[in-house]
Amino acid sequence: MQIGKRVALISILVSAMLAVGKIVVGWLAGSTSVVADGVESAGDAIASGFVALGFTIAARPAHENHPHGHGRYETLTGFLVGVVLFVGGIGICYRSLQQVGAVHPPPAAYGLIPLLISLIAKAVLSAVKFRVGRRIRSAAIIADAWNDFVDILSAIAAMTALGLTLWDPRRFLAADHYGGFAVGVIVIFAGIRVARDTSARLTDAMPNPKLLDEIRQVALSVPSIVGVEKLFARNTGLQYHVDLHLEVDPEMTVRQAHDIANEVRFAIRHRLPWVADVLVHVEPAPEQTNHVQQ
């Protein structure tokens, strides 16, 4: 939890510095695409702020009103990142197209400098966030990593557009503005992707089948388990809560079945740290299945 918050705070600082640099230099250089990319970086700083807030709330301990903890606030902030990207992208597109037909001096070449710095910085941040997000299974950090990856694409689009304008201002004066529009389109699609992925978690979509198979294999490794009838898992932030229906010998006593259920629960939590807790239901195995086991 703390490493995720630390990454988010570093991202806020880096994105804020890049935003100020690109907006100021873009304005002085007269480049719409550089200013648009700076606005996108300002949105990154806001998005990373949401992520940091989400980790702060998610760290609160479980209580009576939130028996499963507050982990979903981390996922919710990932969804908010998607919304910020989507709304910001629309604003960038609108602003960039406003000046397409305007006649003005070509932008200055030094507008490329902050874009190049941003490209390098965001490549590093994106790689770090993807690695950390996948390791701790954080939807918010992964969403923020996609946010930084979008920055890389938008910086490339802005550099291409500005480069065309500098190469032949008479033919490609409007390219700088269209470059800003391209940045906005990239940001919109990234926002849709992030919002889609995080909303799936918020609405209790089942996890990757590979994760379910890991749970099933651990359960079946416990002696006296005949089979797994049902298996459900729902995301609660950085971890999953699991509902598991086990089949056991119908001749077992209640105490024996209870002890086996506890053994399965502890085995799953011990071997799969991404599982927060397991609710085990014990059911009698079908007679023919039980006969085969014997």
DSSP secondary structure string for all residues of 39-79: HHHHHHHHHHHHHHHHHHHHTSPPBTTBTT-STHHHHHHHH
Rounded average pLDDT over 167-193: 77
Mean pLDDT of 264-288: 86
Is residue 160 pLDDT above 70, yes or no? yes
**Which tops the pLDDT comparison, 173 or 271?**
271
Q: Does 245 have pLDDT greater than 90?
A: yes
Cα-to-chain-centroid distance, residue 287: 46
User: In terms of domains, do 219 and 242 share one?
Assistant: yes
Q: What is the pLDDT of residues 181-205, one digit of tens each?
A: 877 887 788 788 878 877 877 777 7
Euclidean distance between the first and the last CA atom of the chain, given in angstroms as a whole number: 46
Residues 229 and 91 in one domain: no
Looking up residue 288, the CATH number of its domain turns out to be: 3.30.70.1350
Cβ(187)–Cβ(147) under 8 Å? Answer: no
The pLDDT of 117-121, averaged and rounded, is 89
| Same-domain check for residues 86 and 156 | yes
- C-alpha separations of 235 from 50, 91, 215 in Å: 19, 33, 14
| pLDDT(293) > 50 | no
3-state secondary structure of 64: coil
What pLDDT, on a 0 to 100 scale, did the predictor assign at position 2?
64
> What total of structural domains would you count in the chain?
2
Q: Domain residues for 53?
A: 2-202
Q: State residue 263's pLDDT score.
A: 93
0.85 exceeded by the pTM? no
- Rounded to an integer, the average pLDDT of 9-35 is 84
Q: What's the pLDDT score for residue 16? A: 86
Question: Quick one: pLDDT at residue 1?
Answer: 52
Q: Which of 154, 171, 202 is the last residue of a domain?
A: 202
